[in-house]
Amino acid sequence: MTKQLPAALFERVLEESPDAALIIDDDGKICYMNAALQPLTGYAPNEVLGQPLDGLLPASVAAIHHGFLQHYIHTGAASKVLGHVREFAIRHRTGETIPILLKALDLGVADGVHYFGAFMVDMRARRAQEAKTAALLEQLEQQAMTDSLTALPNRRAFDAEAERVMARGRRHRAPTSIGIADIDLFKQVNDRYGHPVGDLVLCEVAKTIERAGRGADFVARTGGEEFSMLFPDTPIKMARLVAERMRRAVEATSVKTPDGDCIRVTISIGLAALAPDAAPAQALALADAALYHAKHLGRNRVETA
């Protein structure tokens, strides 16, 4: 059926195709390219006809392409490229590398010349959309792991980080400490000034605790006025020093209300060692008990389990 159709019809189909098409000879020189290839290369057909294909290939591929082509022609070895659709890249005249979807074909021999063809699909739009989707997913994941009020990590993020820190501690036999801080008498702040002011206090305490920690310490808001801390590679004595610094920093901080009042609050902190063979929940329970003990002893203090 197709043999009865004029060759000009097939050439027109190639010319009008939205996909780029290319034909090279057995010396790797370009014999044909359609209009759709121009946006990928920056070259008009008359600029590249008779030129080596290597000029359109990434440098690492161009260096070996001719050798592979000749090896295939002279040995007939099976090709992992020909006949298969794969992701590839083409070099634009500006030097930019353009991602493409490529299907290369062995077109056979005509008049003693071995020809090869290729169809190419521009992947730039798809890659851009994939990057946009990945960024959106990352943003959503970040939001899912962040407390919307204080911008600290939330309970979910803390649990994940605790598992990671615990696993690292097991591998390196490193001590890890865990802590829970609670704003003292916070209900009185809400009752007297209202929840909007209470939120201002929460945000200021969150920033203060985080700033007073070290770079490797992890602070999260895990409850209404409760914050949890991880101290990687830190024995309990050192964690207590850091926790004391956090406590003093909060004690020295004041929050000014919209009405001009100045509010000062304190925090109580309970600490516990995170044993390598124990679940984080066990250490948290011990830290919570130490926090309760700190509250019982008068608040605004650090206690260890």
Active site residues: 225
Structure tokens at 103: 């299907």
Give the span between the Cα atoms of 239 and 172, in whole angstroms.
Answer: 18
Residue 151 to residue 149: CA distance in whole angstroms: 6
- Indicate the residue type of 261: D
Instruction: Give the burial string for 1-27 (b: 16+ CB within 10 Å, else e).
Output: eeeeeeeeeeeeebeeeebbbbbbbbe
Residue 73 token pair:
């022609």
User: What is the SS3 assignment for 264?
Assistant: strand
Is residue 128 within 8 A of residue 135, CB to CB? The reply is: no
The encoded tokens of residue 195 equal: 């929840």
d(CA 72, CA 204): 69
Number of CB atoms found within 10 A of residue 268's CB = 24
CA distance 124 to 186: 54
**Ramachandran bin of 274, using left for φ above 0, alpha for ψ from -120 to 50, beta for the remaining angles:** beta
Strand-strand pairing, 302-304 and 267-273: parallel
Which two three-digit tokens encode residue 257? 């209300």
> 68 is written with which tokens?
């592979």
What is the spatial distance between Cα 165 and Cα 161, in angstroms, rounded to a whole number?
Answer: 6
| Burial class of residue 247, CB neighbours in 10 A (0-12, 13-18, 19+) | buried
